[in-house]
Amino acid sequence: MGTKTTFYLSKVIGRVIYDADNNVIGKVLDISIDFTTKRIDDEPVRPVVTGIKVKTSNKKKLYLTISDFDILKIKTVYKVSCKVTGDIPEAEIQNHFFLVENIMDKQIVDLNGRKLVRVNDVRLVTISGTAYLIAVDVGMEGLLRRIGIAIPINSFLHLFNKAIPSKFILWDDVEAVDFSNFNIKLSTVSSKLHTLHPSDLADIIEDLDKRSGAAVFSSLDDEKAADVLEELETSKQLDIIENLSIEKAADILENMPANEAADIIEELEIERAELLLKEMEDEASDDVRELLEYANHEVGSLMTTEFISFQKTLTITEVMQTIRHEKPEAEALYNLFVTSHDEKLIATVPFRDLMISEPTTTLSHIMNKNPIFLFDTDKVDSLAETVSKYNLLAIPVTDEHKKLLGMVIIDDIIEDLVNKRKTNKR
């Protein structure tokens, strides 16, 4: 293995850099990496340093491609040298990922910690003439290093067996999202973000500035975007929807439960709300319009119209085949409903009972013939008491003729109670 030197970006920026013949090229303003470095098997991604931005003695700024990067550490001072292989063409400069410009002092996502952090320094390593980016420093030590007081403070703390807290994030666990110029296509940059849980991604978007948050959200596919939109605070939901095209916003709302989409549309200006409803597919639009007819204090305003119902003559095997085919969301399985031919609610079947029954058993033998339900015009205040009293995860909602309209799940009841508490505190 070749010689190996670990160094920090802050210690290189502003230093004189020499060419292979020991002639001064200029002072280092920035260095760029190959952001498209691909993973090989399970090896960690270590982007290679490919270029530098320098300021010459006559104040001219140059963008140079380099190789044979070398750094010699003399006590606490670095001597930097490289082989210049050419100029970076002006048309390609925007495609180079410069670390000072795009990483230092910027917000990034710590994928492992699922949170936003700010970069205080960047850690690199040279191995046999090639420099690699290995980690970012988001700790206090990185900040103090940049202002030149990390060493004396650490020396002082050493007397008490203490040290400045350090915090490094390996490049594999980094996702850069705060690009003031957006030089890199966000669809490439934020690919790792798509692996996060929607609630984690929602938290990150809420912490970002408006422009960066909107850009990250726009890079998501419609299904993922719908899941994330559900998790955002109302004010952020409106910011996002109002800044999307009508076509894109409608596509995302169609992927949301009708009650969630209705909650968002209800907060929009009437003209934009109507444009969205017209752009949405007829079935999704009709479901939302029906929910918007309910007053906020009525149970119907909280119900979801996505549920599964069956005829009582079906066997467990037939029911399971239908569920596998339709692939419903998890909350649709909180409670299964049995309806008559005219869609009236006649019973409920807990999913547990479905799973432990013999495959040839019909629903009529395991169903609860006296289901607890509420009318769509009942007061919302009755929901919490009812689900608590009967230990329910979901409660069916019918019209005055007992036609099954939907259900209210416990998640929405809790959210409603939390929102009311927040409102009362203001």
Is the CA virtual torsion 226, 231, 234, 235 positive or negative? negative
Query: Would you state the pLDDT for residue 123?
Result: 92
Contacts 24+ apart (CB under 8 A), 271-278: 272/242, 272/246, 275/246, 276/241, 276/246, 276/249, 276/250
Chain centroid, CA 362 distance in Å:
43
Query: Would you state the pLDDT for residue 56?
Result: 92
Which residue shows structure tokens 């909180």?
334
pTM of the model: 0.64
Domains, the chain, with CATH or none? 4-174 (2.30.30.240), 185-293 (1.25.60.10), 309-425 (3.10.580.10)
DSSP 248-268: HHHHHHHTS-HHHHHHHHHHS
Helix 246-254 crosses helix 258-267 at what angle (to 10 degrees)? 140
At residue 179, the 3 state secondary structure works out as: coil
Is there a contact between 198 and 260 (Cβ–Cβ < 8 Å)?
A: no
Query: Would you state the pLDDT for residue 188?
Result: 38
DSSP 269-315: -HHHHHHHHHHS-HHHHHHHHHHHTS-TTBGGGT-BS---EE-TT-B
Query: Would you state the pLDDT for residue 419?
Result: 65
Query: Would you state the pLDDT for residue 176?
Result: 56
**Phi/psi of residue 168, nearest 5 degrees:** -115, 145
Query: Would you state the pLDDT for residue 114?
Result: 67
| Residue ranges, the chain, pLDDT below 50 | 1, 178-189, 423
Task: Dump pLDDT digits (tens) for 60-113.
Answer: 999 999 999 988 877 767 889 999 999 988 888 877 889 998 888 887 777 666
Query: Would you state the pLDDT for residue 163?
Result: 80
Query: Would you state the pLDDT for residue 186?
Result: 36
Query: Would you state the pLDDT for residue 201?
Result: 85
Is there a contact between 300 and 377 (Cβ–Cβ < 8 Å)?
A: yes
The pair of structure tokens assigned to 172 is 């594999």
Closest CA to 87 of 32, 163, 9: 32
Task: Dump pLDDT digits (tens) for 366-387.
Answer: 999 999 999 999 998 888 888 8
Query: Would you state the pLDDT for residue 192?
Result: 65
Q: How many CB atoms lie within 10 A of CB 312?
A: 17
